[in-house]
Amino acid sequence: MWKIHLRAVLAATTLLAGLVAGAGAASAASVVEVTGFGSNPGALKMFRYVPDGLPTGRPVVVALHGCTQDAAGYGTGSGWTQLADRFGFSVVLPEQQSANNFSRCFNWFEPGDITRGQGEAESITQMVRRQLDDTGADPARVEVTGLSSGGAMTAVMLAAYPDMFAGGGVVAGIAYRCATSMVDAFSCMNPGKDLSPAQLGDAVRGASGHTGPWPTVSIWQGDADYTVRPSNATELVEQWTNVHGIPATPTRTDTVAGYPHAVYEGGGRTLVETYTITGMGHGQPLDPGTGEGQCGQAGAYLLDVDICAAWHLSAAWGLSG
């Protein structure tokens, strides 16, 4: 009889635990679509991730996927949603549509999509404004990052809306206005162009009426990337050091997780930095796991190379503190 009673108690306890666990899973945050965020001239979709119980006054990260990817897959795979839970910020995840670009690449080379107030660039800023309104986030702590076409669009957002973003992380991306047509875009990607620092800087300065301060820029590039050649990282360095008015030679160099890291300082601050991921092809650097410095889930163009770009960007932007 006591055995029967004990079994009943154990069964009830197990059922209760299952219900509690199920309730927790049901209430966990997830990537959700947001509609009606503005006029949306670029015809993009808006997705976002807001951790449960996120207080007001927290930062926002805009994370832009690469070609063939989608918002939720990139947000999770890159590690940004994981870090949002860990450090307490929200993530805006714009998504390209195949009607705009067959491969779902952001149109970082189309003048109508990379000009302030127009197209895809304006759609992304409308998403940011909606996120700030809905979450009460800190407008001075909005960052933008992306991979490949999303990395190139990150450079667009930093140039066209430097008053909106405190910093940017360009992963396997391309300098602003390297290309202004699809045919031109392939030349920028491979073999790459060699514009003068002044030409590159003038492109940014001409993109808005902004006169500073300018966003900080972190540039990530695999040295075995044959899709977006490493010379594009050099162009980005020359563009943004010129904009910041600092030399295009590093203030200091070191290694992080065994990879070369160069820092370009001005006024005692890191304004531009580069991470060169030796042996890595085209993709987002990851270090899957839950330990210090780890994040991400490996997959197509999401590469486990023992360093997670999203984590280091979070640290550079003061999100992890």
Sign of CA dihedral 107, 195, 187, 74: negative
Alpha carbon distance 126, 47 (integer Å): 12
Alpha carbon distance 320, 316 (integer Å): 9
Alpha carbon distance 149, 170 (integer Å): 10
Alpha carbon distance 201, 175 (integer Å): 10
Q: Which of 78, 90, 148, 314 is catalytic?
A: 148
Alpha carbon distance 131, 191 (integer Å): 38
Q: Are 75 and 49 in contact (CB under 8 A)?
A: yes
Alpha carbon distance 239, 221 (integer Å): 16
Say whether 159 sits in a helix, a strand or coil. helix
208 catalytic per annotation: no
Query: Beta-carbon neighbour count of residue 123 at 10 Å?
Result: 21
Residue 74, amino acid: Y
Cα distance from N-terminal residue to C-terminal residue, the chain: 57
Angle separating helix axes 119-135 and 149-160, nearest 10 degrees: 80
Just list the catalytic residues. Answer: 148
